[in-house]
Amino acid sequence: MSQGIADRARTLREQINYHNYRYYVLDKPEIPDAEYDRLYRELEALEAAHPELITPDSPTQRVGGRPLEGFAPVTHRVPMLSIRTETDIEAAGALNFDARVRRELKLKENDPPVEYACELKFDGLAINLRYEHGVLTQAATRGDGETGEEVTQNVRTIRCIPLRLNAAKPAAVLEVRGEVYMSRPDFERYNEKQRTSGGTPLVNPRNGAAGSIRQLDPAIAAQRPLSFYAYGVGETAGWSMPATHSELLDAIRDLGLPVSSERAIVQGPQGLVHFHDDIGRRRDSLPFDIDGVVYKVNSLELQARLGFVTREPRWAVAHKFPPEEELTVVESIEVQVGRTGALTPVARLKPVFVGGVTVSNATLHNQDEIDRLDVREGDSVVVRRAGDVIPEVVAVVRERRPQPEPVRFQILQRYPTCPVCGSHVMRQPGEAAIRCSGGLYCPAQRKQALLHFASRRAMDIEGLGEKLVDQLVDQGIVRTPADLYKLGMAKVANLERMAEKSAANLLAGIEKSKHTTLARFVYALGIRNVGETTARDLARHFGSLDALMSADEETLMLVPDVGPVVAQSIAQFFSEPHNREVVEQLRAAGADWPETAPQRKQAGPLAGKTFVLTGTMPNMTRDQAKGRIEAAGGKVAGSVSKKTDYVVAGSEAGSKLAKAQELGIAVLDEEALLRLLEPESQGKLDF
């Protein structure tokens, strides 16, 4: 596996985590769902091909999102996991799910069909209600699945949620899970009232529900017409669990909690198809928004047998509906520059009503998608709200193309330089995206560049997080990383949520960060395709920043694991005058590091060996152990696979140790690792 693949996986994880936060926590997504799905699928494919890339904090291993500041965090005793989405929106989606279930249960062709509970997939906000001895004591959002936000006061304003359960002998603990939503009639009545009074209407029912629950003032939440449907349970104590999921919902309903009547118990795959088709036909007449249906194996015993895979239950799946489509005209094509520098083409449309909203813009994703569709300015196109949320162009009606034919749209011809900062744009081999090269300078990338620059693995500026960066950039105080070193007490202390002491701590962290290593500084610059390991290799190979900045692509490719794509990224970055100017400003501000003689990487005793670290060692941190392994030529992976040579296990080692034992992989303690690091070991130990 090349270093470029590892760096790509790391970049994808950072991007997806960022977009998860924007979507699930802030309700302010920056990219279309389709673009997010592309990033997620690419990461899934990389991790499937290279299991050693999987890390515990990978978006594929978790649901996504973090608690908002202002709400107390709540740790879910039983994680609120996501369920898999069946991508085939036709009948095959149901057939595929049933086939997977039967295969996992090892059922034969002549065995009886599996019984399923079918429900609606509501378009709202997932909530966990905790009842203790029958009284509502806590309500929390899903958050990242492990930790959510406490929103008890806001949930108490929802009249359909009982504050006390209808039970003579209530359970000691019963956590009920479901969806807070806003019905269409309530949504329309609320917006009409807002328009009449001069207030701000809600964008759509889902945002209305999510925004209401996240109001810091419960009085505002109480004004919003919210509803709730239960669909499952979390932690229970002193409660008899029924035998089936449908009986569980009946029991929840008998306790006084709302449960949708739009559900059914069906037999086998044809029952699933019938339910999906029936709800699809009646979808528009339902009083609330849904984006699909959910199938669950009805028997709780079979659910337990099926278990989970990558934090998703094998016994449930979400089956979406075909998105709504309409015909309109592309009036122009423009590009938007994202936080990572990607130029995303956007079709400006003649406004059209699709899926309940008026659409005037649609993503075209990238140049490959433009070429595939052959979409041109003036074309009549079919627009679809993908997932009923983000509009996209799915087809061109060639018969309606204007004459003479419009020219083909080429991003690099229309935009040879970035429309935001004027830097060169480039497309590297094998990459779909076209990117701006002005990372340290481009206003569109400013916040992302600053956050990366300050991150722990880069300049490690403690206390400089997203909220502070937003303020510094939005108020025009900081334009480039070099401006961080010009900050004074007066400006920092006047920022929101900053006092004199916290401002002093931040300034001390900024001052401390000046003294770093060349590898950290190179990584902090945010050069495309240059991760931590590549930055260390570059620092070791060249010894000085000046030597690195003056190297051409051919010279750069002499560095181990630096190929043509990475070499082009580095050379292009340093060829931009404004990037070099920011580097010089950083040096002038006092950023320094020890420079050394060039070191050509030699094969160490651990060359070609892959390690996984788990648990706590008595005398070394994981970072120290990782550094020593890599210095000896070895590689440190995040997960155990058949390609792993050694697992280094300290105290409190967890599932990685168990996996190593299962696969028969050699397990080392700290003492054995130290022996292995000795040059005469040649990467081998006698066990």
Residue-wise pLDDT tens digits, 476-516: 999 999 999 999 998 888 888 788 888 899 999 999 999 99
Query: Which residue in the block uniquely carries the two structure tokens 């504050």?
Result: 163
Q: Can you give the pLDDT at residue 323? A: 61
Q: Give 81-121 as a 3 state SS string.
A: CCCEEECCCCCHHHHHHHHHHHHHHCCCCCCCCCEEEEEEE
Instruction: Assign a CATH topology to domain 443-588.
Output: DNA polymerase; domain 1 (1.10.150)
Q: Which CATH superfamily is domain 3-61 in?
A: Helix hairpin bin (1.10.287.610)
Which residues on adjacent β-strands are paired with residue 117? 265, 296
Residues 6+ away with beta carbon under 8 Å from 407: 376
Query: What are the pLDDT digits (tens) for 95-130?
Result: 999 999 999 999 998 999 999 999 999 988 999 999
Tokens coding 448: 């992302």
pLDDT, tens digit, 9 for 90 and up, residues 121-156: 998 899 999 999 999 999 999 988 889 989 888 888
Residues, the chain, total? Answer: 687
pLDDT value at position 68? Answer: 43
Residue partners of 205: CB distance under 8 A and separation at least 6: 123, 124, 181, 182, 183, 184, 187, 288, 289
Q: For domain 610-681, give the CATH number.
A: 3.40.50.10190
Rounded Cα distance between 127 and 148, Å, is 9
Domain ranges in the chain are: 3-61, 84-320, 325-414, 443-588, 610-681
Query: Which candidate, 48, 49, 46, 38, places its Cα nearest to that of 16?
Result: 38
Query: Both tokens of residue 125?
Result: 């906000």
Give the Cα separation of 429 and 83 in Å (integer): 35
Mean pLDDT by 10 residues, the chain (687 residues): 81 79 56 76 84 73 46 90 78 90 94 96 92 93 88 85 88 96 88 76 75 76 86 95 96 92 95 93 86 94 90 90 80 90 92 80 89 92 70 86 93 91 83 83 88 93 90 91 91 85 91 94 91 91 94 88 86 89 93 85 72 88 83 82 90 85 90 81 59
Say whether pTM exceeds 0.75. no
Q: What is the pLDDT of residue 516?
A: 95
Cβ–Cβ contacts within 10 Å for residue 546, how many? 10
Q: Tell me the C-alpha to C-alpha distance, in Å, between residue 20 and each of 8, 12, 27, 452, 606.
A: 18, 12, 10, 17, 38
Contact (CB, 8 A) for 351 and 329:
no
Catalytic residues: 121
Q: Which class is 325-414 in CATH?
A: mainly beta
Q: Say what the pLDDT of residue 679 is.
A: 67
- The fourth-level CATH superfamily of domain 84-320 is DNA ligase/mRNA capping enzyme (3.30.470.30)
d(CA 51, CA 279): 39
Instruction: Yes or no: say if 296 and 272 are a contact pair by the CB < 8 Å rule.
Output: no
Q: Phi/psi of residue 299, each to 5°? A: -70, 125
- In CATH terms, are 3-61 and 610-681 the same topology? no
Predicted local confidence at residue 391, as pLDDT: 85
For residues 136 and 162, the answer to whether their CB atoms sit within 8 Å is yes
Residues 126, 79 contacting (CB under 8 angstroms): no
Closest to 597 in 3D by CA, of 543, 554, 517:
543
